[in-house]
Amino acid sequence: MVGMEACSWYDEEQTTMNYLVFNWKMNPGTRSDADKLMRAVIKSGKKKNVIVAPPFAYLERIKKMIQKTSIALGAQNVAFSQPSGGMLTGEVSASMLSDFGVEYVIIGHSERRYQLGEDDVHVRGKVEMVQKAGMVPVVCVGERHNMSFSRAKQAVIRQLFAGLKNASPRKKLIVAYEPVWAIGGDKDVSPSRAVRMIMEIQTWLDRRVKKNVPVLYGGSVHADNADDFLAHRCVKGLLVGSASLNPKEVSALVEKVR
Ligand code: 13P
């Protein structure tokens, strides 16, 4: 299998992860619920390598809450360019986010690609802006429909190629494999297929961008199935949507962080 050399073994004992990214998406609905949720993350113990990406409206309060912890702040979006005079209504620049204390930015999420028309030019620009501003892009890739492995691989590699064209090999980068059809919190995903794709992604990154880019898995991950993905050395962490809104799931997942 192509990609085996990049990451070749499976270790049932190794079910801890390097990165746990909570993507709250457009949730929760109120500031007080955001505080409650954040308290659950903070209460759950180990905090290193836990990244919380709340909606922009809650960034300020979440930042205050995590001040004395090692939880990192993430954003769910960023402007794809920085035109002179700041002429980009409704957008938030990478320099603003970095100045604010954001360390990670989710880019190219399928909800942005397919519901908001984010294209390769946007993804590429955002990666460049985020890296230049000293933050870490978390670039999402994934096939849109449940299709054969080889077609899915083609789609994923195309997204990597287009989105990472201007990525700097000298700067940090994280890639998240999220098969779009597996997003929603309750979809039946095969960990072995996901791992196989992550191995392909790792091989591509090793050759085309740089070695040891962490690759995460996202799509219907919860505490009960997390270990099935994390048992493989190639999977460096998880990008979690639905389960990140449930305090019980949150503590169980944070427990697994290295
Ligand atoms: P779910 O965990 O709800 O499937 O969402 C995954 C996701 O889109 C995270 O970015």
User: Does 109 qualify as catalytic in the annotation?
Assistant: yes
**Tens-digit pLDDT profile for residues 109-137:** 999 999 999 999 999 999 999 999 999 99
Q: Please count the other Cβ atoms lying within 10 Å of the Cβ belonging to residue 113.
A: 21
**pLDDT of res. 45:** 73
Is the minimum distance from the CB of 16 to ligand 1 under 6 angstroms? no
> In which element (H, E) is residue 19 found?
strand 19-23
Contact indicator for 220, 190 with CB cutoff of 8 Å: no
Q: Answer whether residue 16 shows pLDDT above 80.
A: no
Q: Residue 1 — very low, low, confident or very high, per pLDDT cuts 50/70/90? A: very low
Distance 255 CA to ligand 1 centre (A): 19
When the pLDDT of each residue in the chain is averaged and rounded to a whole number, the result is: 93
Q: Which two tokens stand for residue 209?
A: 């961008």
Which of 239, 244, 249 to mutate to test ligand 1, by most ligand atoms within 8 A of the CB atom?
239
244 within ligand 1 shell (Cβ under 6 A)? no
User: SS in 3 state form for 182-248?
Assistant: HCCCCCCCCHHHHHHHHHHHHHHHHHHCCCCCCEEEECCCCCCCHHHHHCECCEEEEEECHHHHCHH
Does residue 3 have a pLDDT over 50? no
Give the global pTM: 0.94
Asked about 103 being catalytic, the answer comes back as no
Convert the pLDDT of each residue in 153-200 to its tens digit.
999 999 999 999 999 999 999 999 999 999 998 998 899 999 999 999
Every domain of the chain and the residues it spans:
12-255
Distance of CA 173 to the CA centre of its chain: 10
Contacting residues for 11 by C-beta, under 8 A, at least 6 apart: 231, 232, 233
Residue 139, both tokens: 């670039």
Please report the sign of the dihedral spanned by the C-alpha atoms of residue 115, residue 119, residue 120, residue 121.
Answer: negative
Q: Which of 178, 200, 222, 232 is catalytic?
A: 178
pLDDT tens digits, one per residue of 89-105:
999 999 999 999 999 99
Q: How is domain 12-255 classified at the CATH fold level?
A: TIM Barrel (3.20.20)
24-34 pLDDT, tens digit per residue, is 999 999 999 99
